[in-house]
Structure 1
C-alpha cells in the first residue's frame, strides 16, 4: 500500500520527536540521498524498487536521514538537478520483470527543499535485477532474497499452494464421516448457507473446490480426512497438547493426526478441562468467566491450523503451563505481517485453497477479525492481551493466566448498554493507563499499531468525545492520563489513585542532578540511551522529557547527532 503526499506531510512533524527509522513500516522507508556518487544513488533507487515490489509494494522517501531526531537535521533533501525520467528508465532497464514505479516531488523548507517520493506497486514477485540479485521487504528491513525467502514470496502469491496438490486414492477411502459431520456442525453454528450444508459429502467438497477431476486435494484431506489417511499423505502434520508441570517437565501429553474440525474440538476439550471459572455478578445475573476466554483460544487454534506450513516438520504444539498457554504452529509470518502490525495488516493466507473453503463455511473471514477477537475477549475482562512472537520458522501465541477484573468488565458492559462499544484500540489504551501513570502519542501509536496522527485522533476522541482521559502538557510534551473518577472505578477498591506526575517530575530531577554532577567532574553528558537507563523510559519518552527539561533549564545543551548526540549542562553559564 502506497502513502499519499498528504499522508507523508502529516508524518514529517513527528521527526521532531522521533527518528525517521521509528516511522518506517512494511510499506514505508526513508533513505538518505548519496550526494557524492550519482551511480550509488541510482543503484539505491533500483534496489529499493525491487525490495518494495517483492514485499507487496510501498513508498520510499529519498532525502531523509533516518537515525536523527529533529526535522531540520533529518530532511537533507535530494539535489534539484536529479531527473526522475532517468531514474524511471534505470529502474525499468535493470529489473526483471520490468518495474515502472511512480516518482513524485514533495517540497519542504529544509535541506535542498526537495524530497523524492517513489511509489512502488506490488505485482507478481519475485523481481530481480538484471544479474538475478534481489532483496525483499520484511518488516522495516530489505533482506537478501535467499532460497527460503523466495519460497515465502511464492507462498504469499499463491504460486505454490501446497493444499492445492492432489492426493492419491479414492476420496471415499480417504474421508472420515465423523470429520465431515463436525465440519458441518461447526459451519452451521456460524450460520453458513443451508443450501451448502444440505449437499452430499461429494457435492459439498466439490462446491468448496476440494475435489479436482474427481480427486481429493490436500485442503480437502486436511478438512475431512481420516487419521490414517492424514498420517500416510501428510506425515509432517500432527497436533500435540502437553500439560507442563514446569518449564522442563510435563505431566500429560496427547498427540493426534485428526482433520481440522476434530483436532480443534479435541484440543479445546483438553484445554478447557483445566481452565478455572470465576463468577461475576452483573445486575441480577451471575456470569461465569474462564481464566482463558474460549473465543480467544478457538481463534488462536484456528489461526494455527489454517497457517500451518505442511512442508516443515514439527507439530502444532499447545503447551499448557500452570501460569500460561502457548500455541505454536510451523511456519513464520508471511506477507509483511508481524507482531507489530498484525492488528491492522490485511490477512495473508499461507494455504489459499484451504482458507477459501473455510471462508465459504464461515469458519474464518477475510477481514482479519480473528486476531482482533483474541485481543478483544481478553481486554474486555481486564486481562492483558495475547502476546504474538515469531521464533525461527514458527509463530507462537501466548496467553497469561489471569483473574477477571470485575470493575473493568462491569464498565465495559455498562458502556455497551449505553451504546458505546469499545474497540480493541480503546481497550488497549485503558488497560495500559491502569498500569502506567500516563501515555504519550508515540507509545499509543505503537500500542495500537497505528500512525501517530491516527493515535492522536484516537486519544482526542477518548478525551473529548468519550470523556475517559485528561490531557496534560503542551505541544510535543502532551500526555494523557485516566480521569480520576474512571481510574478509581476501573482499579477497584484498595487501589487509591496515585499522583500520576510524581514519577515524571522525579525523573527530570534525577536526570538534571546527574547532568550537573558530570559537568562538575568534567565528564561527558548523557546520551538518550543512558537517560533511558536512569529513568526506565523508552526512547520517545526520553526525547519528550528532555524537551521539557531544556525548556525549564536553559543551561542544558544538546550536542552531536544520531547516536552520538549527548545532553550536557553548559558550565560556562554556571
Structure 2
C-alpha cells in the first residue's frame, strides 16, 4: 500500500512524466469521470476486483494517466463525492465482499481533492456480483481465466490438491515407503503409539483416507512410484552434479514417495558435502560445508510445499561452490522472500503438511526457515538465499569456510544461558563483515519492523554488551561491534580504523588536520578525503563543514567540483 506521503512525492514528478509511467503492480492512477456517477461506480468495482486479485494496492482517483504536466494531469475528484457511499457500492457488488479504505489528499490543482482507494485481497479470487473478474498483472488488468483462478486458490491455500481422492487401492501403498516414514518419524521422537499402528491404521489416524478412500496426500507419503505416476502427473525429483551453469557430470532421478525421496536426496548431497574437523581439547568435532539440519529442512520444505499440479519435479543442483534446491509453485499467499523468516505458516498442501506435523517431521509454527538460517549462522556462514524464480521457489546454500571462532563464541554463550536467536545471529554476522549497522539495515536483515529491530539492537547493546552505539540518537543512531568481540569473532578489517567517529570528535580532528596542513604549506582536504577520515556519509560531512565554517571564519568555502578543497587560512594571511 502507498501512503499519502508516497503519493504526494510521486505527484511532484507529473511535470516530467505521465502518471502511467509511475504506475506499478500495487499502484494505479484513474481520472474521475464526472459525467456519470453510476458508470464511475462500476469502474471502481472493476478496479477494486482487479487490484485485490493482484494482491492489493493503491488506486489514486482524480489523476489522468496519459497527460504530462501536473496542472493538466490533476483534475481531481468532485467535493460532493461521498466515500462511504463508494464503500457500500463496492461491498454490495463484489464476491467475496471487498471493503476498501479511502483516504483524502489535498492538492492545489483541479477540485483540490484526490482520493486514495486502498484495496486489500486476503480472500482471493474476487469477482463482481455477476461473476466477472480481472487480475492486476504489472500495470494492467488481465482476464481472470480458469487457470488464473486455480493459481489464486492454490496460492491462498483454499484449494488443497493433496486432499483430493486418489485413483488408488490400499494395495498401492508401498511397504518400503511406510517403513521409511516410520523410521524418519521415530528419529524425530514421534509418539510411539502412532508408529506402532498397522499401515492402514496409521493412514487412517493421520486423516489421509476419509471414508476409506486414499487421498493424494496418502500416496505422496506412502504410495508406490506407479500409483504416484498415475495420480500426480510429472511427480518426481532430479539431482544434478553441476560442472558449471550448463553442464553436469552426474544425474539421478526418482519418483518414490516423500520419505524415500528425502532419504535418497540427502544421501546424494551428503556424498559431496565436505567435512571440517575442529579439535577442542581431547575431542574432534566435524562440521559439514552445508549443515545437515539445514539440508533436511530445505528438502522437506521443497517436497511438502511443491505445487504438484504443475507437472514439474523437485530439482536439486549441486555446484562446486553452492547448492540450489527448487520446487514448482511460487510462495503461498502473501509470503515473500523478504518476510518468510517470521511469517505465520501458510501450507500449499494442508492435509499433507498436517500429517507431517503429527509425525513431527515438520513444525506447525513455521520454525523450519529459522532453523535453516540458524544452522548456517552458528557456524559463521551466510544464511540461505530464498528466491522466487518465475513459478518456482529456489533455496540456495553457499559454500563458505567454517568459523571456529564464531562457533566457539556461540557455544560459550549458550553454556552461560545466553542462547543466540536468529535475529541476533544475523546482526552479528553482518557486523563481522561491516563496520556498522543501523535500524533500517537490521530491519531488512531480520525481516522485522523497525521498532522490533531497534529493540534487538538495544538489547544487544545494553543487556548482552555485544554492541556499542554511535550517532546523534533517534534515526541517526548506528551500532558497531565491540572492538574486542570483533577481534574475537575474526571479523574483517580493523575495527578501530573502520569505526565512524562522532560529529564533535570529527570536528576536532578535521580542524587539527587542516591547521597542520596549512602550517606545512600542504593543500587542503576534499569531501572524499573527509568521508574517508571520518567514515561519515556525504550529507553528514556537508553539515559538519557548514557548522565549522560558521564557527571558524578561517575555513574557506571550497566551492564546487570534484577536486574542491577545504582549507584553513589564518586571519591576515593572503590567499
Q: TM-score range by the shorter chain?
A: 0.7 to 0.9
SS in 2 for 1:213: helix
Q: Give the structure 2 partner of residue 477 of structure 1.
A: 476
Q: Give the structure 2 partner of residue 161 of structure 1.
A: 160
* Cα pair distance change 1:119/1:106, threshold 3 Å: farther
Matches within 5 A, 1:44-443: 50=49, 54=53, 83-101=82-100, 120=120, 122-123=122-123, 125-128=125-128, 132-135=132-135, 144=142, 146-147=144-145, 148-172=147-171, 174-282=172-280, 285-443=283-441
CA contact (8 A) 1:279 1:287 kept: yes
Q: Distance in 2 between matches of 1:163 and 1:554?
A: 66
Unaligned runs of at least 5 residues, structure 2: 13-24, 64-75, 107-111, 507-526, 548-558, 567-575
Q: Distance in 2 between matches of 1:170 and 1:446?
A: 50
- After superposing the two structures, state which structure 1 stretch, 154-163 or 348-357, moved more: 154-163
Q: Distance in 2 between matches of 1:197 and 1:305?
A: 22
Shift of 1:103: 6.6
Unaligned runs of at least 5 residues, structure 1: 20-28, 66-76, 509-530, 536-541, 556-567
Shift of 1:502: 6.8
Q: Give the structure 1 partner of residue 543 of structure 2.
A: 551
Deviations 1:108-146 (A, max 9, x none): xxxx999989685734633447682333699xx997564
Deviations 1:37-85 (A, max 9, x none): 77799789757754675477x897989x9xxxxxxxxxxx999976442
Q: Distance in 2 between matches of 1:379 and 1:389?
A: 19
CA contact (8 A) 1:308 1:331 kept: yes
Q: Give the structure 2 partner of residue 512 of structure 1.
A: none
* Cα pair distance change 1:394/1:468, threshold 3 Å: same
Deviations 1:411-432 (A, max 9, x none): 1111111111111111111111
CA RMSD of aligned residues (A): 4.2
* Cα pair distance change 1:157/1:131, threshold 3 Å: closer
Q: Give the structure 2 partner of residue 513 of structure 1.
A: none
Q: Give the structure 1 partner of residue 498 of structure 2.
A: 500
Shift of 1:308: 1.6
- After superposing the two structures, state which structure 1 stretch, 283-292 or 383-392, moved more: 283-292
Q: Distance in 2 between matches of 1:86 and 1:425?
A: 46
Q: Distance in 2 between matches of 1:201 and 1:48?
A: 52
User: Paired residues, what number?
Assistant: 486
Structure (1 or 2) with the larger CA radius of gyration:
2
Q: Distance in 2 between matches of 1:378 and 1:458?
A: 20
* Cα pair distance change 1:32/1:155, threshold 3 Å: closer
* Cα pair distance change 1:422/1:126, threshold 3 Å: same
CA contact (8 A) 1:42 1:87 kept: yes
- After superposing the two structures, state which structure 1 stretch, 232-241 or 426-435, moved more: 232-241
Q: Distance in 1 between matches of 2:117 and 2:465?
A: 40
Q: Distance in 1 between matches of 2:319 and 2:369?
A: 22
Structure with higher RCO (Cα < 8 A, 6+ apart): 1
Q: Give the structure 2 partner of residue 468 of structure 1.
A: 466
* Cα pair distance change 1:243/1:284, threshold 3 Å: same
* Cα pair distance change 1:439/1:359, threshold 3 Å: same
Q: Distance in 2 between matches of 1:142 and 1:341?
A: 26
CA contact (8 A) 1:30 1:62 kept: no
SS in 2 for 1:313: coil
Shift of 1:229: 2.3
* Cα pair distance change 1:90/1:439, threshold 3 Å: same
In the superposition, the TM-score normalised over structure 1's length comes to 0.73
Q: Give the structure 2 partner of residue 511 of structure 1.
A: none
In the superposition, the TM-score normalised over structure 2's length comes to 0.73
